[in-house]
Amino acid sequence: MLAIKRCKDALLAIHDIRLHAPGPDPKVVGTKQIVSWYCITCKPEDNVKIEVIENLLKVVYTTTGKNANAGSQVFELNSSWAAPGKVYNVKVSLQKNPKVFGITIKPFPVIPTIPTNINLPF
């Protein structure tokens, strides 16, 4: 019974989407980030749904991408995402079958921009 379960788990594992980016380092508001993915069993003609998820609870951004087999999509970090205690993961799933998905393992924080025109008293 255990061998069958492991075999089923292995079969399920080949049907998921693997993500390459973004990494867990802090990101600055307004910067453009790239999420990249590949799925060895997905078809290039299938599309994907891309979601940015706050604290693994709330979807704060959704877009679509082409080529479920391998692709990438750019998204910009919103200023409302820069708040203490908030971290974000990116999830990519097949539009036609959301059970086939991948999600970034480590979340990334978003930090506010730092003004460059600060007048320092001397």
Which tokens hold the place of 13? 């594992």
Is 8 buried (19+), middle (13-18) or exposed (0-12) by CB count in 10 A?
exposed
Residue 110 domain flag: no
Residue 115 domain flag: no
The domain tally of the chain equals 1
Residue 94 domain flag: yes
Residue 67 domain flag: yes
Q: Which domain holds residue 61?
A: 15-103
Q: Could you tell me the CATH number of the domain that includes residue 35?
A: 2.60.40
Residue 5 domain flag: no
Q: C-alpha angle 6/8/12, rounded to 5°?
A: 115
Residue 2 domain flag: no
Residue 60 domain flag: yes
Residue 4 domain flag: no
84-116 pLDDT, tens per residue? Answer: 999 999 999 999 999 999 999 999 999 998 777
Prediction pTM value: 0.80
Residue 20 or residue 39, greater confidence: 39
**H/E stretch holding 4:** helix 2-13
Contact, 74 vs 33, CB < 8 A? Answer: yes
